Amino acid sequence: MNTFLHKPLPPLRAHPHIHPQHQTHSYKHKGSAAYVGSDRAVFDVPVMGAIMGTGAGVLWKGFETWSQISWRNQFLVALDWGRTKIFGRDISRV
């Protein structure tokens, strides 16, 4: 037989001190980005429109590098991309 040591939680409801209009969620689209390979990417920025090609790939890699949490990770990501550019990704010959 199952025995419980506490009472079940009450059902969730809105907080009484928050006005209902402040409980709604609002979404603002800031754009989309996709890396498509071969140093190319595609950005869809609402203000500027579509950006694509090698320049977008460089922008993607820069954003990906600078969005790392620590300086160490930023350095390691940049080092990995540089190493991949020089030696390639094929590790079967190592």
For residue 13, what is the DSSP state? -
The whole-number pLDDT of residue 38 equals: 87
The label of the residue with tokens 């609402």 reads 46
Among 35, 44, 30, smallest CA distance to 81 is for: 35
Per-residue HEC secondary structure of 20-78 comes to HHHHCCCCCCCCEEEEEECCEEEEEECCCEEEEEHHHHHHHHHHHHHCCCCHHHHHHHH
pLDDT in tens, 23-42: 566 788 888 999 998 889 99
Question: Tens of pLDDT along 7-23?
Answer: 777 666 666 666 655 55
Q: Is the pLDDT of residue 50 over 70?
A: yes
Domain boundaries, the chain: 32-87
Record the pTM.
0.60
